[in-house]
Chains A and B, each alone.
Chain A
Amino acid sequence: MARYRSFRDLDWSLLIITLIICSLGILQIYSATHDTKWSDAWWKQALWVLVAIGIMWVASSIDYHTLLGQVPVLYVLSIVALLATFAFGKLVFGSRRWISIPGTGFNFQISEFVKLVIILLVARYLSELKREEVGFGDLLKLGVLVGIPTALVMAQPDLGTSLTYLPVLGVGILLAGIRWHYLAAIAVAGGLAVTVGYHFLQDYQKARLISFVDPSQDPRGRGYQVIQSKIAVGDGGMWGRGVTHGTQTQLRFLPVPHTDFIFSAFAEEHGFVVVVVVLGLYFLLLMQIVQNAQMAPDRAGMYICMGVATMLLFHVLINVGMVVGNMPVTGIPLPLMSYGGSNLFSIFIMLGLVNNVRLRRFSS
């Protein structure tokens, strides 16, 4: 592959939007935690954003074709790492998601990085299809390949993160083309799987689904979070209550206002107008990624960009939907805003991959 990389060719609109959203996130983390024991979270997040930019640069530098070539290795590594979390994982809130790096004090959430592997895996598989549609055998293979890590993460248990893998596969298949009767068959199979799977869900996962349908059923558990989040959002009104003046956030009626419910805190303090502006920024970010997909030099690049776009869209839909009570509480963070290094790094690597594709758009 020819080297057409230059600093100028990076997707600067994408980067600027990303950094604006990150800044708003850091501001909101500060506002939500300034008088709590998490009060150092905002500068940690700022530090991680800087590190993430560096990682993104690295991710955009290595030719994505090389990365795709390493998918088997990455995939096996992912499975091994996920299995390792069962053995060495840190138990937090009844779930083993994190692996500590000895001596550093850092905890990595393996399932966050598996997201990248899933994107690359789907991109590679679909780009190597000889036909213009996905066959039954392909569906089966992809189902098994994506299904194994999904099941492992689900078993941690981390229902939310595991569910983020499936849309990438789904959108990929739709893009690649699929016969309608396969689609119908998948829908039926999926419906059956959900019905049967419900019986195998953990109690807390069932409770989340129940509290999603009717939050008032469980006003002091999951339902409590949604109720308080909706109150916080609604309290913001048109113009918000001002930074550090949202009472739901500041008096901590709103749970985890710097991680999963950061957008609720943001909505309370900034109001509807700014919320629409920020959602607009997310939309622009998404469209910028989609544009890179459209201009991708090959199918693999297109699938990578669309995988990233899907991953982002799904995160925003689930997280923001949860904040306004339209989606279940699944523990999915808001990309770029929620406090947390693993998710931030994972997203920035994804954006690095998009740039990676962009930098090589004239290569073929």
Chain B
Amino acid sequence: MSDPERPANESSDRLFRDDTKFALGRIAVFQYAAVAVFLFLIAGFWVLQIRDHEANSTLAERNRIKTVPLLAPRGKILDRDGRVIVDNQPAFVVQLTQENLKPEHLAPIAEGLHLDLDDLRATVKRYAAGKRYSPIPIKRDITPAELTFIDSHRDPGTFPELELVQEPRRLYPQSGLAAHVIGYVGEVSEQELNTSDFASYSQGDLVGKSGLERQYNEILKGVDGQRRVVVDVAGREHQVLESAEATPGQNLQLTIDLDLQAVAEIALEGKKGAVVALDPRDGSVLAMVSRPAFDPNLFAAHIKSADWKALTSNPDNPLLNRAIQAQFAPGSTFKPLVAMAGLESGAIDENYSVRCNGGGTFYGRYFKCWQKGGHGGVSMHAGIVHSCDVYFYTVGNKIGIDGIAEYAEQAGLGKKTGIDLPGEAEGLMPSSKWKLRTQREKWYAGETISVAIGQGYVTVTPIQLASAIGGMANGGVWFKPHLVKMAATADPRRENWNLDNIAKVVSGMYGVVNEGGTGTAAAIPGITVSGKTGSAQRVSNDLRKSGKLEKGELEDNGWFVAFAPRENPEIVIAVLLEGGEHGTLAAPTARDVIKAYFDKKTRLSKLTQQPSLAFIQRPGAPVGPAISSPVASIATSDVTSSSEDH
């Protein structure tokens, strides 16, 4: 430690003086060094506190002030009586905020939330390319374990970019009730963002993707709010600085009657097809079913790719809304319109008769009647009742294709009905002009023969057929079909059809159901159900010949279109059964729905006749005194003013 022979200071070493003078200069150097150190430190504070004060304050603000979005719940969807069809439930969405996102955090986050890392990276990349610093929603269906992971990792020291935000989630009816009508929501797509309709949206927002959710997205969506809160390092809120509440979306009241809808859903269960029930007096859709259906709840959070694949690769295409998108030949359901065309054009009168021997030759080709033995002498009434093909071959031939097309188009065939749903199909009503335009060929008179019985080029959608027949029965007045009450048009399309002619055709349709025709299965005692069956090839003859089709696709479709009562009808219904062979099989479905309609009406009128129960009246219920909506009153004044009770 020290030299063993330590010298005694004064005695042995005279030269050595134990004073501090030698070091004074060096101590001064130390003092200057200390001054330098303090100046260096003060400079550090000057830089941070004076020069960069603003920037650091902003950073401190950003640390402590968090903007929490308050996502607006979408409006509820109600049936015509105000019963909730689509509601919301509270749920969460995990988001990444881009401002403090660190790429190296993605792997542990993906692991903690059980996400695919590559998918997550792709999502982040997609958002990073966006214009705004919008938060990136990465997961919507969160398990409790994942919730714990988020809670314990979203502090600034770990994953400051991790956010958990409350997001009202759509709650759709189970079992796909009215799934095609309602549609579903999903994250806005990039293509959508590039259109003007979605200008106010940013990536990750939920928007209606199909059905009413899409059609009325702007009404349903509401306005998001936000809260600015002071948080500590653990994300705990200490103070609310500012709060703008979310404005919920407006509720959407439909014309759909859940009672009828349920009956129609049950009737179609396990089948493939569609049902559309309209009120011809105002065009309101009472029921609309398409089967097979899907569960929109699969989409409510975020559809899993396996579910999506299953839906899109299903050959029966459950996402297709057959009520407005299936285009098939109408078959014999077209015959009432041909009869109307014959009467209105003057090609025939009601007494015009044809002899049916089970078929007839037109333009060198033999056309069979479905009844091999023939119908004998057939008047128009009998022609409709027994659906005699030979009668309509003859009549159609007399009218000519353009005559048929004129009246069928007046009834609304060959163009969209304009129902308030996206993706409606047009159907096709051929004419000589149409053929010249699209195929650059003249119309052969022989082609008219097939069209006259609803085959050949002519195709319709269930909604078109219901609307066309409903408007005819309504006296040649067609209201635009609509699902939402406020979408009703006060101004229907009117054609100057002779009411007597209409009555004659309707009488035939009444016979179909009530006089031993093909639709007797739809008869309801006490109610003058009138209808027409039809069976039609699913595909054109051309496709049929191509031989590329599966056996199932060669099966005929069954149609049934009906309305009741026969005068001033209140309900018209079109039923399509794909592969249903014949309309007789579709008739019971129509009967069930029509019966449900009148049963309910009777029930309600009994209730309202008792003054003590008057409060049970629901606004919009289809009962005389209970009608309160302007739409309904217009409809009644326009159409049913001459109503005599059936």
A interface, CB within 8 angstroms of B: 71-72, 75, 121, 124-125, 127-128, 130, 132, 145, 171, 174-177, 219-220, 224, 228, 230-238, 247-248, 250-253, 267, 271-272, 275-276, 279-280, 282-283, 286-287, 290, 293-294, 296, 298-302, 306, 309-310, 313, 316-317, 320-321, 324-326, 364
Contact = CB atoms under 8 A, between A and B. Distances in A.
B42 A293 contact: no
Nearest to A324: B44
A338 to B, nearest CB: 16
Interface in B209-237: 230-234
Contacts of B50: 237-238, 272
B58 to A, nearest CB: 9
B351 to A, nearest CB: 93
B15 to A, nearest CB: 9
For the residues of A in contact with B, the DSSP-based class is: helix
A272 B6 contact: no
Given A145-B1, A293-B20, A296-B20, A174 B26 contact: yes
Contact of A317 (B41, B42, B56, B232): B41
For the residues of B in contact with A, the DSSP-based class is: helix
Contacts of A310: 30
Contacts, number: 167
Closest 7 CB pairs between A and B? A234-B56, A324-B44, A251-B232, A235-B60, A234-B48, A272-B49, A302-B20
Interface stretch (B32-40, B177-185, B384-392): B32-40
Give chain B's interface residue range (CB within 8 Å of chain A).
35 or more
Interface string B11-32: 0010010111011101100110
A286 B234 CA distance: 40
B540 interface: no
Contacts of A235: 53, 56-57, 59-60
A294 B24 contact: yes
Given A251-B63, A251-B238, 10 more contacts: A175-B27, A220-B158, A248-B60, A248-B64, A275-B45, A287-B34, A299-B19, A309-B30, A324-B47, A326-B44
Contacts of A224: 156-157
Contact of B233 (A130, A253, A282, A309): A253
Nearest to B2: A128
Contacts of B271: none
A220 B60 contact: no
B55 interface: yes
29 contacts: A75-B1, A125-B1, A175-B30, A224-B157, A233-B56, A238-B49, A247-B63, A247-B64, A248-B64, A250-B232, A251-B231, A253-B156, A279-B41, A279-B42, A283-B34, A283-B35, A290-B27, A293-B27, A298-B18, A298-B19, A302-B20, A306-B27, A309-B30, A320-B44, A321-B40, A324-B47, A326-B40, A326-B41, A364-B18
Contact of B37 (A175, A220, A271, A316): A316
Contacts of B6: 128
A325 to B, nearest CB: 7
Nearest to B53: A237
Contacts of A176: 23
A231 B64 CA distance: 12
Contacts of B373: none
B52 A283 contact: no
B149 interface: no
A279 B2 contact: no
A323 B353 CA distance: 106
A237 B34 contact: no
| Among A176, A248, A253, A321, residue most surrounded by chain B Cβ atoms (within 10 Å) | A253
Contact of B18 (A127, A230, A236, A247): A127
A252 B238 CA distance: 12
A294 B48 contact: no
Contacts of B48: 230, 233-234, 267, 324-325
Given A75-B1, A234-B55, A248-B63, A324 B27 contact: no
A119 B56 CA distance: 40
A253 B23 CA distance: 47
A228 B47 CA distance: 15
A271 B7 contact: no
A233 B41 contact: no
Contacts of B231: 251
Nearest to A283: B38
B646 interface: no
Contacts of A248: 60, 63-64
Contacts of A171: 30
Nearest to A137: B3
A299 to B, nearest CB: 5
A298 B44 contact: no
A175 B34 contact: no
A236 to B, nearest CB: 5
A230 B27 CA distance: 33
A159 B42 CA distance: 26
A44 B605 CA distance: 84
B233 to A, nearest CB: 4
Contacts of B230: 247, 251
B20 A251 contact: no
